Amino acid sequence: MNDTTVSRKTFDEVMVPVFAPAPFVPDRGEGSRVWDTEGRDYIDFAGGIAVTALGHAHPALLRVLHEQAARLWHIGNGYTNAPVLRLAKQLAALTFADRAFFANSGAEANEAALKLARRVAFDRHGAQKAEIVSFTQSFHGRTFFTVSVGGQPKYSEGFGPRPEGIVHLPYNDIAAARRAIGAQTCAVIVEPVQGEGGVIPADPAFLRALREACDAHGALLIFDEVQTGVGRTGHFYAYQDTGVTPDILTTAKALGNGFPIGAMLTTEAIAAHFSVGVHGTTYGGNPLGAAIASKVVELVSDPALLAGVRERGERIRAKLAQLNARFDVIGEVRGKGLLIGAQLNARHAGRAKDFHTAAANRGVMMLIAGPDVLRFAPSLIIPEADLDEGFARLAQAFEDVCGRAPGASR
């Protein structure tokens, strides 16, 4: 039912203004379609920022949500629960990891990973081995530690002294990484595909070089798979297609398909450095989130679903090529599976937001990654018909921005 007591305008009156949401208010979703409070429908190419991997209102997830909610939805970490144990076993079976720590978001999973890495180095080598190596343009969350480790200074400036012992290197620069990683390095944290930073895949040779340098200097390699994980790249985790295995992996976003849950996965030997009371959370590992994530993992780890992700990714690339043949706005298409970034060409530099707004006006929800990149992160099971309809609408949006004449810019 449409609640007429609130509207988009209410946001500006009662919310802390850290976001600038679209002018419409989404109200209902099913699969890859969303309806706003006015009843207009949208094709969802954004997936709640790479989160709703199985679309909206997935029947199996709804069933689990209802059943678990009626059974037990929170108990606190003074007790364990069957759903979280099942989920940990599933993730261990699917990955290099033996152990899991559950949190509620990507930032918290990374916070745990960074604290664990610092603790491992402290225990094994002493306080001097504390340096964390990260990469420019990376994004790891908004807690003060994770935002300081992230490589976008605009997000960590203006909050007083930052945590110490963090260095930022250029992404995909093997020589710089070899020079910088040394005896002082505690951990290297890297996204296998930089998401927020512009959808930039890591060169496999770069990841191999990071692995070698970490091994040579007793540092831990952390893969932040918050955006790339849970099927997004066409593999359950992106690392599984790189030939490089991290020591710690963080995952969130699609793990709960929108129910807030994150996890840090690691080996038994590394996990042993976190003893009782060293780290914790009230909600992390609650039975409701864990039950939902367990079903998500079961469904997404199906090889047929993962093959479908790769196929849909190719279809989007073909559709983008067709659009570009008409409008000539895209320079390069990057990414993997269903995490795709289309870099605007020089003539359209800085106009990603214009395309984003025009798309919404034509009934397509999509994402941008900085001022120059259109980003696509739809449901991993988006029906072909919705994909085609979304691109037909996008063609109208491109025409709105570029005008009718092929290649024309405003």
Please identify every residue annotated as catalytic.
139, 224, 253
Q: How far is the CB of 139 from ligand PLP (least distance, A)?
A: 5
**Residue located via tokens 């109208």:** 396
Strand 200-201 and strand 166-169: the pairing is: unpaired
Q: How far is the CB of 49 from ligand PLP (least distance, A)?
A: 6
Stretch (H or E) spanning 344: strand 339-344
Q: How far is the CB of 228 from ligand PLP (least distance, A)?
A: 7
What does the CA dihedral 153, 159, 160, 163 come to, rounded to 10 degrees? -60
| Interacting residue with ligand PLP among 34, 43, 107, 221 (CB under 6 A) | 107
Q: In the complex with ligand PLP, which residue's Cβ is closer, 42 or 135? A: 135
- Applying CB under 6 A, does 140 fall inside the site for ligand PLP? yes
Q: What is the CA radius of gyration of the chain?
A: 21
Contact region for ligand PLP (CB under 6 A) — 74-82, 191-199, 264-272, 284-292? 191-199
**Phi/psi of residue 190, nearest 5 degrees:** -145, 145
Q: In the complex with ligand PLP, which residue's Cβ is closer, 309 or 377? A: 377
Please count the residues of this chain forming the interface with ligand PLP, following the rule CB under 6 A.
Answer: 15
Q: How far apart are CA 195 and CA 340, in angstroms?
A: 9
Q: How far is the CB of 107 from ligand PLP (least distance, A)?
A: 3
Q: In the complex with ligand PLP, which residue's Cβ is closer, 49 or 269? A: 49
Give 201's strand partners: 193
Q: In the complex with ligand PLP, which residue's Cβ is closer, 35 or 155? A: 155
Q: How far apart are CA 329 and CA 246, in angstroms?
A: 37
| Interacting residue with ligand PLP among 32, 105, 137, 233 (CB under 6 A) | 105
Query: Which one, of 19, 127, 87, lies nearest residue 259 by Cα?
Result: 87
- Judge whether 191 and 138 are in contact, CB under 8 Å: yes
Instruction: Starting at the earlier edge strand, list the strands of the sheet with 339-344.
Output: 330-336, 339-344, 373-376, 367-368
Q: How far is the CB of 146 from ligand PLP (least distance, A)?
A: 7
- Judge whether 368 and 352 are in contact, CB under 8 Å: yes
Q: How far is the CB of 140 from ligand PLP (least distance, A)?
A: 5
- Applying CB under 6 A, does 141 fall inside the site for ligand PLP? yes
| Interacting residue with ligand PLP among 44, 191, 247, 386 (CB under 6 A) | 191
- Applying CB under 6 A, does 323 fall inside the site for ligand PLP? no
Q: How far is the CB of 6 from ligand PLP (least distance, A)?
A: 24
Residues 198-237 that bind ligand PLP (CB under 6 A): 224, 226-227
Contact region for ligand PLP (CB under 6 A) — 72-80, 133-141, 268-276, 277-285? 133-141
| Interacting residue with ligand PLP among 132, 221, 252, 288 (CB under 6 A) | 252
Q: How far apart are CA 305 and CA 53, in angstroms?
A: 11
Q: How far is the CB of 51 from ligand PLP (least distance, A)?
A: 8
**Phi/psi of residue 50, nearest 5 degrees:** 60, 35
| Interacting residue with ligand PLP among 47, 106, 246, 308 (CB under 6 A) | 106
- Applying CB under 6 A, does 366 fall inside the site for ligand PLP? no
Residue nearest to ligand PLP according to CB distances in the complex: 106
DSSP 128-162: T--EEEEETT----SSHHHHHHSS-GGGTTTSSSP
- Applying CB under 6 A, does 374 fall inside the site for ligand PLP? no
- Judge whether 368 and 13 are in contact, CB under 8 Å: no
**Residue located via tokens 């918050």:** 226
- Applying CB under 6 A, does 151 fall inside the site for ligand PLP? no
Q: How far apart are CA 349 and CA 1, in angstroms?
A: 41
- Applying CB under 6 A, does 139 fall inside the site for ligand PLP? yes
Q: How far apart are CA 256 and CA 263, in angstroms?
A: 10
- Applying CB under 6 A, does 111 fall inside the site for ligand PLP? no
Query: Which one, of 178, 165, 135, lies nearest residue 153 by Cα?
Result: 135
DSSP 260-274: --EEEEE-HHHHTTS
Residue 164's SS3 state is: coil
Q: In the complex with ligand PLP, which residue's Cβ is closer, 52 or 105? A: 105
Q: How far apart are CA 219 and CA 182, in angstroms?
A: 8
Q: In the complex with ligand PLP, which residue's Cβ is closer, 130 or 249? A: 249
Contact region for ligand PLP (CB under 6 A) — 126-134, 135-143, 179-187, 370-378? 135-143
Chain residues binding ligand PLP by CB under 6 A are: 49, 105-107, 110, 139-141, 191, 195-196, 224, 226-227, 252
